[in-house]
């Protein structure tokens, strides 16, 4: 944690230090490099993945995309070495690592850019090289939807970016966003799998609630249960339809009429998908670390969803109940959750992200509850379009902001949580973690 010293320089330092230790352990145990090393083995002319064996009869190609692409690809290079014929890894700017045999392309996230399209086009060309006797090893991690992006014919990069921006600001849940993405993409919704003649093996680091395969990076290698009708409904529900570029409207309308290709609807016998890491693993790691520190720890959920500032108030109410009435748990204790909250933006907005809004909103409820700290962080080190992973607030945060003349309500209304947390020395700055298993929420209660 780059700014750990600043965070622990005042306030409920002990509670905050515990929260940071739990976060660091959770991220360490979610390391994608280690996850691949544990899951993938080479034995003679066989690849073994979580006990399942695949014979190597031809060439092995590697295609990686997502925020953890390079860490996963590095492990694969070390395991398969000279067996790799060719490979491509597409990751977020500043998330790259030096690789020997696999070409690295950095691209835009959360808003895709020209390199996102270039990386996806090269990935498609690689997939088409795979013959029946070959293996394509696909390494998928969070962020893949934006980083590996190839629009359908007639839809420009600019139009796809516009749709992405509208979706991200709408308050739609990630699986709803991905439903739309899949239906205007050449690679998502199982369309990448359709291109592969040989054996396709995917190792997947999940960053979505519930670990639904079709939602992770918009499911490029799995069958998709959603339809053009679902995409249309979502766009209407979130009032996006009338704001769409005409090219996107036209494509979806053609889809509704059955005139363009739907996403993959059947299981293909040559496709094999394996989840090798998720937020559940991260939460369990945090829990075990808390218990080693002598604290009672409870995982509330690994499927947290909802509007960030509102979910935060609910969690704040639970903290208050424990603090004053020792129910449903006795203090001191730690509560842990995993998932992904969202932020609905109407009109102009300041700087922030859902985890920063969660932290700032919770500060209202824990004001004066000494020995309490609340951490909300994206496991990849980036919360929204900021350099912060999230926020870490304590019982002094609201008081400090009041003295600075800052209204938490006003900053939340303007979605300017970054600036408020910065003033309170409550931002979490971790830098890239090169993993992505959703967001973590750690509540330390009654530790003084």
Pair 338, 314 in one domain: yes
pTM above 0.95, yes or no: no
Asked if the model's pLDDT at residue 174 lies above 80, the reply is no
pLDDT band at 162 (very low <50, low <70, confident <90, very high): very high
Interval 208-253: pLDDT, tens: 888 889 888 889 999 999 999 999 999 999 999 999 999 999 999 9
> What's the pLDDT at 249?
97
* H or E stretch at 179: helix 174-182
Any idea which residue has 């396709």 for tokens? 200
Phi, psi dihedrals of residue 35, rounded to the nearest 5°? -60, -40
Q: Kindly tell me if the per-residue pLDDT of 433 is higher than 90.
A: no
Residue 173: predicted pLDDT: 84
Does residue 387 carry a pLDDT above 90? yes
pLDDT at 59: 97
Q: State the CATH number of the domain containing residue 220.
A: 3.40.50.10180
Q: For the segment 260-316, what is each residue's pLDDT rounded down to a tens digit?
A: 999 999 999 999 999 998 999 899 999 999 999 999 999 999 999 999 999 999 999
Number of domains in the chain: 2
257 in any annotated domain: no
CATH number at residue 417: 3.40.1480.10
Task: State whether 217 and 286 are in the same domain.
Answer: no
Is 419 a member of any domain? Answer: yes
Query: 15 and 162 in contact (C-beta within 8 Å)?
Result: no
Residue 256 falls inside a structural domain = no
Domain that holds residue 114: 32-150+185-226+263-277
- The pLDDT value given to residue 171: 87
- Specify whether 203 is located in the same domain as 285: no
SS3 of residue 197 by DSSP: coil
Say how many C-beta atoms besides its own lie within 10 A of residue 418's C-beta: 24
For residues 343 and 345, what is the distance between their CA atoms, to the nearest angstrom? 6
Same domain, 439 and 320: yes
- pLDDT of 1: 66
8 and 43, same domain (yes or no): no
Which of 277, 304, 338 represents a domain boundary (last residue)? 277
Same domain? For 268 and 331 the reply is no
**Among 350, 352, 216, which residue's Cα sits nearest to residue 273?**
216
State the average pLDDT for the chain.
95
Task: Verify that 302 and 403 share a domain, yes or no.
Answer: yes
19 and 72 in a single domain? The answer is: no
Residue 146 sits in the same domain as residue 201: yes
In a domain, 166, yes or no: no
């Amino acid at each position: 944690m780059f700014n750990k010293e600043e965070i622990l320089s005042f306030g409920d330092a002990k509670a905050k230090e515990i929260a940071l230790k739990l976060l660091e352990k959770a991220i360490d145990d979610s390391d994608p490099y280690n996850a691949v090393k544990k899951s993938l083995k080479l034995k003679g002319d066989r690849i073994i993945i979580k006990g399942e064996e695949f014979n190597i009869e031809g060439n092995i190609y590697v295609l990686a995309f997502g925020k953890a692409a390079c860490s996963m690809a590095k492990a694969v290079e070390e395991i398969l070495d000279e067996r790799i014929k060719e490979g491509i890894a597409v990751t977020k700017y500043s998330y790259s690592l030096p690789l020997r045999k696999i070409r690295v392309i950095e691209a835009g996230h959360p808003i895709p850019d020209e390199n996102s399209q270039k990386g996806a086009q090269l990935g498609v060309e690689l997939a088409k090289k795979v013959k029946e006797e070959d293996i394509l090893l696909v390494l998928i991690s969070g962020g893949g939807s934006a980083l590996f992006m190839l629009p359908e014919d007639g839809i420009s990069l600019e139009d796809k970016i516009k749709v992405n921006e509208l979706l991200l600001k709408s308050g739609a849940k990630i699986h709803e966003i991905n439903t739309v993405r899949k239906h205007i993409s050449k690679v998502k919704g199982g369309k990448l799998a359709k291109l592969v003649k040989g054996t396709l093996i995917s190792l997947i680091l999940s960053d979505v609630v519930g670990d639904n395969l079709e939602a992770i990076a918009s499911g490029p290698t799995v069958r998709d249960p959603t339809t053009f009708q679902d995409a249309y409904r979502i766009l209407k529900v979130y009032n996006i339809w009338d704001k769409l570029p005409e090219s996107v409207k036209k494509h979806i309308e053609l889809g509704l009429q059955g005139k363009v290709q739907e996403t993959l609807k059947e299981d293909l016998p040559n496709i094999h998908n394996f989840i090798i890491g998720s937020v559940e693993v991260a939460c369990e790691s945090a829990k075990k670390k808390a218990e080693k520190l002598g604290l009672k720890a409870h995982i509330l959920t690994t499927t947290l969803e909802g509007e960030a500032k509102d979910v935060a108030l609910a969690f704040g109410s639970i903290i208050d109940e424990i603090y004053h009435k020792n129910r449903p748990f006795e203090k001191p204790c730690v509560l842990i959750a995993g998932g992904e909250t969202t932020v609905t933006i109407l009109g102009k907005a300041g700087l922030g992200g859902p985890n920063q809004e969660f932290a700032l909103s919770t500060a209202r409820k824990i004001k004066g509850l000494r020995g309490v700290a609340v951490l909300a962080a994206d496991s990849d080190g980036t919360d929204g379009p900021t350099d912060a992973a999230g926020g870490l607030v304590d019982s002094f945060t609201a008081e400090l902001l009041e003295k600075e003349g800052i209204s938490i309500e006003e900053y939340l209304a303007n979605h300017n949580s970054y600036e408020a947390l910065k003033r309170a020395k409550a931002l979490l700055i971790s830098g890239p973690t090169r993993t992505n298993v959703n967001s973590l929420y750690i509540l330390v209660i009654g530790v003084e």
